[in-house]
């Protein structure tokens, strides 16, 4: 069995084994439904209605019939043709004398048939309910668990994963792919059990009715296997490519819708439409191909079963003529045969669906198996308190071998309570550096110490509880403003929320809104300005009262007035905690206890404002650049 | 929502099929003939049982069996052809619907996108359209063939034995009763399930987009719990609906059980009476099945149709969203402009009674650089959005070289106005393709020149595949500064007559900003430009500084002139900005 499928069954289906077993049993019983009905029919035909094969008046059997008769009797002594009398029942079944019943007797028996038939039908209708209910129960829960696991996994994955994958593609896995699991796959899984039990019971029933005919019917089986094998590979290939094409389309579309302003400002609607069309066209081609292959497979299988059933009817009819079978038995055999072939046709389809299911499952496991490179080591410690000492020891980092090292060997140490400004040209690795402090990324070489612990020996939850980051591009979630502020600290009291908002210079703005703290934040904070978003992000961080605070160019989107006010707050907030401030402004940097100058991932300066200035270098240059306008103003 | 509008929307959606009406008609013809041919086998079997076996006309055996084989085998090809046509039309239909939606979505005003959000647009264009696909072609044809099957099978039943057929007809309403009992609850729970899943999708989208924050605050577990709660609510509704469905199905089996038992036993009674042959009973049961199956299917359609109608509605929610910003009738292409931009008493409000811009009068000469400064939320970005025609003014007019922006084609206007956005948006393509986004046919020389101007050339050369390095998904990650430089280069390449820089330089460090500005100085020459920057150092060199406050222009002039105004807004801004650096700098 496919290893993915095996794992899927082990992880997701086994917890429901009692229900699955129940469903299997029900499926098995349901599988015998048509055979039971067939048996009632047979009994009715043979023993109640007492229908007997007729003799040909003209006795002119067709050549084929004669040939068949010869085969049946397997002897040469019948060459003279057949004796019409011989076909009368039943020199082969002396245990079942069948005296003709009277009409009254027949009708009496028919009442019994009525009772049994009705009982069987109603019983199965009831069983059907349990069957369907349990399928739904298991199916829905499996989908639920798979989604949860995917979500959990995705939440645990390191940032590097998100740098590589488009959000749209992840979404399409968690939502669409998994839905597919339910709609087709779980029902198919259970149906398969039903089909298999039908086939097994069917084979036994056929063998009991007439072994010779049954052997003949089973000859059709290899044909099925052959057909299925022929179609299997192209179908699963097409399906996998179709899902990929779909994910591509989804990804492209999501990017464009998100970046609508760029599309508009470059008036690229037309070429984007062409691109989208190309994506859709490949989905279209593959979908039609997929449908075609499935239809062809179905058609071939249906033809095989129809031909087989007809030939068996032919053979069976001859056996009835020769008295080796009753009419009822032939009808029973024929009914059973169609209940055997139907699941066979369905089973070929099931196989296809299972192929498709494996594609979906493997896409699920692809995410679930994605290596979590950043996780708690065994024995990682929980830190109740963090004093805020930070040491970088020869830290190197690369996102991607393609792009080379972003951080190239950094060493420095920061005492608790110190404020550090990180300056340097864009792309120097400032944000990366501080992301590593939160263990969003892991150094490729070297190590980072927090309060003398290797950062990898501290539980992630501890690190992130004590370190807060205010990102350069603030992220807000839809909800109310206060819900956003308490994001890092559930259950904060209203007083503390207010306090945090005040300190982030946000309170007045919030109070100017009609709904105040309960004002809605739209998806992505689209109804707020960049400065408002940054201040909310700041309030979020302030509320968590972190030991280490990282401000990634936090005040860049603020106008000068607001910035000046926020800066005052920051001075207060930064007091007593280790703070890293990424900034482009010398004015901000100058206030820090230490300044780290980064250039091309290397340290191009480390010290106080004064000491760095006296040394000139990159920092001196930056200072000169920014002094110019200041000089102009004051001059 | 009114049912009337629903059917109306559905009818409108059918318009998408019209071009393929011929194909569909062919498929319909094929399906109907297949359905009719499919009616034959039970009659053949009846003949074999009654005439060949019971009456002993054995000489007919080969012929009848041959017929029995021939029908399905010979129609196999037809069935494949039919399936092909159907899936072709179905997928073609959704391709067209998606393309139409795409065309519309990318004509809608920015306001629509801000309000709707990416997640919702996505789920409508991908999810809902897929829901519709199944119904519109497959099921529609099936309904037709189902009805034909039902009628044909009923007809044959009456031919076989009118008394049994009458009984069957009388029992038919039981199906309807069963359907009526369950359809309401099924629909209600499915509707709630859909709504829940919508919430799940929107929430998930946000969490993924904001994953950095989730991690930074260690919120993974709580987000998991939130996701679990949302999905679990969905699960409950899904179970509700599936339970009702199971009951409905069993109800059908009960009805059919009663019906078939009656038919079988009465049939057998007629056989005893000599009114009917047993082959006739078999055939009758077979045809009764052919009445039953389509009825069952119709019930399923009845359940799905609600899903589809909701999807259709949501599709039309997008398609019917008015294109607020569109080319006026008789709009002409904006000729190549010199770049004079006039804001003539412009006013703008998003919501009525809440003006965002008031009485904006501004006359910008070709080649001038205008710096827009002011507090956050004072309307700077909105002002430039009006020039791009992302929104239309609610009062006054904006003229470019004397042409009202509403009277020229949007395309020709935006082609001549370049824009660098606050948040740099790049696509999952190579660096070269991203640079050439506004001008895909630009020769390499121009691309490299633009890259040099944006100070991104060296970065590109450092990557392994140079300009062919992919950004995003499978490629490399760019820093914010790199992204911004790339988007500046991208705008430079299109050589716009008018350029809008929206805080584009805010995350660049002074050094590379200085480099860019040097290059930009060359680019800006002979080009009208509007610069929104919070850092005053970047606007000092502007020809005109416009100071805005609460949607109004409060001061305008050069830096020197504005600094002269005692207690002026500009002066205050400058002082706030540079106060600290001054004190520090001169303390050294």
- How buried is B370 (Cβ within 10 angstroms: 0-12 exposed, 13-18 middle, 19+ buried)? buried
pLDDT tens-digit readout, B25-48: 888 888 888 878 878 888 888 888
User: What local confidence, expressed as pLDDT, does residue A134 receive?
Assistant: 85
Q: Which residues of A touch B260 (CB under 8 A)?
A: 117, 121
Instruction: Examine the pLDDT at B586 and tell me if it is beyond 50.
Output: no
- Helix/strand/coil (H/E/C) assignment for every residue in B516-529: HHHHHHHHHCCCEE
Q: How many CB pairs under 8 A join A and B?
A: 533
Q: Is the pLDDT of residue B497 over 70?
A: yes
The set of residues, in sequence order, having a beta carbon less than 8 Å from that of B117 and lying 6+ positions away, is A522, A523, A524, A526, B202, B205
Mean pLDDT (whole number) for B77-98? 84
A307 close to B69: Cβ distance less than 8 angstroms = yes
Q: Give me the pLDDT at residue B534, please.
A: 60
State the DSSP H helix or E strand holding residue A15, giving kind and residue range, or none if neither. Answer: none
Low-confidence residues of chain A, pLDDT below 70? 54-98, 160, 163-169, 172, 183-187, 189-190, 345, 348-352, 400-404, 426-427, 523-524, 526, 555-562, 625-635
Q: What is the pLDDT of residue A165?
A: 65
Interface test with B, best of A19, A109, A138, A313 (most B CBs within 10 A): A313
Strands, E assignment, B148-226:
none
Using an 8 Å CB-CB cutoff, list chain B residues near A107. Answer: 269, 272
Q: Which residue has the tokens 């609850």?
A: B185
- Contact flag A558-B376 (C-beta cutoff 8 Å): yes
Partners of residue B563 in chain A, C-beta under 8 Å? 633
From CA B88, how far away is CA B22, in angstroms rounded? Answer: 13
Pairing verdict, β B417-420 and A594-599? unpaired
For testing the chain A interface, which of B215, B420, B461 should be mutated: the one with the most A CBs within 10 Å?
B215
The 10s digit of each residue's pLDDT in B275-309 is 888 888 888 888 888 887 787 777 777 777 777 88
Residue B212, pLDDT above cutoff 50: yes
Q: Which of A327, A399, A630 sits opposite B585 (nearest CB)?
A: A630
Say if the Cβ atoms of B509 and A613 lie within 8 Å: no
Least confident of A74-83, B122-131, B178-187: A74-83
Beta carbons within 8 Å of A112's beta carbon, 6+ residues apart:
none
The tens digit of pLDDT for each residue in B460-484 reads: 888 878 888 887 655 566 766 677 7
**Paired tokens of B353:** 């009674």
Please give, rounded to a whole number of angstroms, the shortest distance from the CA of B151 to a CA of chain A.
24
Partner-chain contact B224 A148, CB within 8 Å:
yes
Query: β-strands A419-423, A578-582: how paired?
Result: parallel
Q: Does residue B579 surpass a pLDDT of 60?
A: no
**CB nearest A560 (choices: B473, B490, B576):** B576
Query: Contact A427/B481 with Cβ under 8 angstroms?
Result: yes
Q: What is the mean pLDDT of residues B450-469?
A: 83
Average per-residue pLDDT for chain B: 80
Portion 365-424 of B in contact with A at CB < 8 A: 373-377, 381, 388, 390, 410-411, 414-415, 417-419, 421-423
Predicted ipTM? Answer: 0.77
C-alpha A170 chain-centroid distance: 9
Residues A11-46 pLDDT 10s? 888 888 888 888 878 877 777 888 888 888 888 888
- Mutation choice for A interface testing from B30, B78, B216 by most A CBs within 10 A: B216
* Buried-state track B127-162, b at ≥16 Cβ within 10 A, e below 16: bbbebbbebbbbbbbbbebbebbbebbbebbbebbe
Round the CA-based radius of gyration of chain B to a whole number and report it.
35
Count CB atoms within 10 A of the CB of residue A5: 16
pLDDT at A370: 77
Alpha helix (H) ranges present in A544-616?
560-574, 586-590, 609-615
Q: For A600, left (φ over 0), alpha (ψ -120 to 50), or beta? A: left
Structure tokens at A628: 């110019």
Question: Of residues B206 and B376, which shows the higher confidence score?
Answer: B206
CA separation for the pair B211, A154 (Å, rounded): 9
Residues 331-370 of B with CB under 8 A from A: none
Cα–Cα nearest to A407, from A460, A444, A378, A373:
A444
pLDDT band at B5 (very low <50, low <70, confident <90, very high): low
For residue B487, the chain A residues in CB contact (below 8 A) are: 262
Evaluate if residue B509 carries a pLDDT over 60.
Answer: no
Sheet with B403-404: strands ordered across: B354-364, B341-351, B395-400, B403-404
Residues from chain B that touch A585, judged by Cβ atoms under 8 A, are 510, 581
Residues A159, B418: C-beta atoms closer than 8 Å: no
Q: Which residue of B has its CA nearest to A55?
A: B56
């Amino acid at each position: 069995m496919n290893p993915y499928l095996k794992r899927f069954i082990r992880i997701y289906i086994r917890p429901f084994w009692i229900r699955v077993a129940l469903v299997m049993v029900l499926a098995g019983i349901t599988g015998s439904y048509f055979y039971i009905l067939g048996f009632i029919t047979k009994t009715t035909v043979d023993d109640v209605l007492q229908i007997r094969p007729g003799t040909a008046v003209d006795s002119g059997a067709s050549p084929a019939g004669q040939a068949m008769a010869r085969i049946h009797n397997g002897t040469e002594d019948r060459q003279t043709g057949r004796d019409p009398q011989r076909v009368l029942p039943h020199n082969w079944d002396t245990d079942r004398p069948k005296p003709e019943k009277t009409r009254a007797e027949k009708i009496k028996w028919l009442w019994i048939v009525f009772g049994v038939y009705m009982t069987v039908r109603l019983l199965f209708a009831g069983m059907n309910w349990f069957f369907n209910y349990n399928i739904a129960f298991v199916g829905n829960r499996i989908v639920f668990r798979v989604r949860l696991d995917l979500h959990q996994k995705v939440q645990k994955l390191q940032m590097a994963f998100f740098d590589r994958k488009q959000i749209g593609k992840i979404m399409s896995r968690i939502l669409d792919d998994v839905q597919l699991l339910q709609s087709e796959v779980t029902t198919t899984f259970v149906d398969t059990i039903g089909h298999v039990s039908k086939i097994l019971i069917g084979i036994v029933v056929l063998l009991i009715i007439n072994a010779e005919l049954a052997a003949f019917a089973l000859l059709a089986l290899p044909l099925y296997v052959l057909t299925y094998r022929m179609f299997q590979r192209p179908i699963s290939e097409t399906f996998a490519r179709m899902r990929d094409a779909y994910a591509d389309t989804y990804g492209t579309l999501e990017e464009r819708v998100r970046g609508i302003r760029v599309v508009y400002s470059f008036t690229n609607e037309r070429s984007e439409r062409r691109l989208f069309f190309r994506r859709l066209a490949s989905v279209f081609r593959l979908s039609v191909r997929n449908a075609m292959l499935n239809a062809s497979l179905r058609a071939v299988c249906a033809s095989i079963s129809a031909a087989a059933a007809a030939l068996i009817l032919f053979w069976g009819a001859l056996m009835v003529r020769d008295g080796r079978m009753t009419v009822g038995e032939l009808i029973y055999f024929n009914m059973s045969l169609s209940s055997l072939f139907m699941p066979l046709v369905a089973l070929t389809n099931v196989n296809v669906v299972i192929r498709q299911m494996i594609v979906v499952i493997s896409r699920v496991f692809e995410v679930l198996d994605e290596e979590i490179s950043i996780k708690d080591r065994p024995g990682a410690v929980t830190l109740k308190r963090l004093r805020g000492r930070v040491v970088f020891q020869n830290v190197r980092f690369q996102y991607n071998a393609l792009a080379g090292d972003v951080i190239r060997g950094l060493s420095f140490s920061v005492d608790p309570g110190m404020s550090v400004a990180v300056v340097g040209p864009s792309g120097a690795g400032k944000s990366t550096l501080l992301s590593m402090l939160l263990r969003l990324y892991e150094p490729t070489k070297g190590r980072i110490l927090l309060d003398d612990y290797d950062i990898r020996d501290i539980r992630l939850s501890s690190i992130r509880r004590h370190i807060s980051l205010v990102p350069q591009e603030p992220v807000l979630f839809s909800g109310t403003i206060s819900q956003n502020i308490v994001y890092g600290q559930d259950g904060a009291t209203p007083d503390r929320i207010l306090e945090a908002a005040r300190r982030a210079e946000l309170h007045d703005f919030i109070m100017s809104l009609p709904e105040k703290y309960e004002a809605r934040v739209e998806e992505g904070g689209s109804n707020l300005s960049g400065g408002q978003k940054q201040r909310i992000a700041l309030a979020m961080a302030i509320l968590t009262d972190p030991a280490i605070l990282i401000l990634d160019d936090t005040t860049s989107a603020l106008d000068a007035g607001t910035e000046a006010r926020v800066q005052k707050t920051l001075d207060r907030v930064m007091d007593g905690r280790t703070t890293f401030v990424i900034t482009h402004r010398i004015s901000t940097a100058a206030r820090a206890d230490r300044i780290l100058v980064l250039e091309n991932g290397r340290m191009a300066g480390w010290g106080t404002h004064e000491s760095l200035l006296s040394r000139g270098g990159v920092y001196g240059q930056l200072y000169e650049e920014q002094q110019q306008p200041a000089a102009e103003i004051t001059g | 929502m009114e049912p009337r509008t629903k059917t109306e929307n559905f009818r409108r959606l059918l318009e998408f099929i019209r071009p393929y009406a011929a194909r569909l008609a062919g498929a319909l013809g094929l399906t109907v003939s297949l359905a009719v041919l499919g009616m034959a086998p039970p009659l053949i079997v009846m003949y074999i049982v009654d005439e060949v076996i019971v009456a002993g006309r054995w000489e007919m055996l080969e012929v009848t069996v041959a017929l029995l084989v021939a029908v399905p085998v010979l129609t196999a090809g037809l069935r494949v052809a039919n399936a092909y046509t159907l899936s072709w039309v179905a997928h073609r239909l959704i391709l067209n619907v998606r393309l139409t939606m795409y065309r519309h979505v990318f004509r809608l005003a920015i306001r629509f996108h801000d309000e709707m959000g990416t997640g919702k647009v996505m789920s409508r264009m991908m999810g809902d359209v897929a829901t519709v696909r199944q119904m519109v072609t497959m099921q529609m044809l099936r309904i037709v063939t189902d009805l034909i099957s039902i009628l044909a099978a009923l007809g044959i039943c009456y031919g076989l034995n009118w008394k049994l057929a009458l009984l069957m007809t009388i029992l038919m309403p039981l199906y309807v009763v069963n359907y009526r009992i369950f359809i309401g609850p099924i629909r209600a729970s499915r509707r709630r399930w859909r709504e829940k899943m919508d919430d799940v999708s929107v929430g998930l989208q946000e969490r993924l987009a904001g994953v950095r924050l989730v991690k930074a605050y260690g919120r993974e577990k709580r987000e998991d719990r939130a996701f679990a709660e949302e999905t679990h609510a969905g699960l409950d509704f899904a179970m509700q609906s599936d339970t009702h469905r199971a009951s409905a199905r069993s109800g059908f089996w009960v009805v059919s059980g009663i019906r078939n038992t009656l038919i079988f036993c009465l049939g057998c009674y007629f056989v005893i009476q000599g009114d009917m042959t047993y082959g006739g009973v078999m055939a009758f049961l077979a045809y009764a099945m052919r009445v039953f199956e389509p009825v069952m299917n119709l019930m399923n359609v009845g359940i799905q149709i609600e899903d589809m109608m909701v999807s259709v509605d949501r599709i039309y929610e997008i398609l019917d969203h008015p294109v607020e910003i569109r080319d006026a009738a008789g709009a002409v292409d904006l000729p190549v402009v010199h770049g004079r931009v006039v804001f003539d008493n412009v006013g703008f409000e998003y919501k009525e009674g809440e003006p965002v811009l008031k009485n904006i009068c501004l006359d910008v000469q070709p080649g001038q650089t205008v710096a827009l400064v002011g507090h956050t939320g004072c309307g700077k970005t909105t002002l430039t959005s009006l020039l791009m025609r992302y929104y239309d003014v609610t009062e006054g007019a904006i003229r470019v070289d004397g042409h009202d922006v509403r009277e020229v084609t949007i395309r020709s206007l935006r082609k001549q106005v370049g824009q660098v956005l606050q948040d740099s948006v790049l696509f999952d393509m190579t660096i070269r393709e991203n640079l050439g986004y506004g001008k895909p046919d630009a020769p390499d020389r121009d691309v490299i020149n633009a890259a040099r101007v944006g100070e991104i050339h060296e970065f590109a050369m450092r990557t392994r595949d140079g300009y062919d390095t992919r950004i995003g998904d499978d490629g490399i990650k760019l820093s914010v500064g790199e992204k911004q430089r790339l988007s500046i280069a991208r705008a430079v390449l299109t050589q716009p007559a008018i350029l809008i820089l929206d805080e584009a330089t805010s995350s660049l460090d002074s050094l590379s900003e200085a480099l860019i500005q040097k290059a930009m100085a060359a680019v800006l020459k002979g080009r009208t430009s509007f610069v929104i920057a919070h850092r005053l150092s970047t606007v000092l060199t502007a020809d005109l500084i416009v100071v805005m406050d609460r949607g109004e222009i409060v001061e305008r002039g050069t830096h020197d002139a504005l600094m002269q105004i005692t207690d002026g807004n500009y002066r205050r801004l400058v002082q706030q900005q540079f106060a600290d650096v001054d004190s520090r700098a001169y303390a050294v």
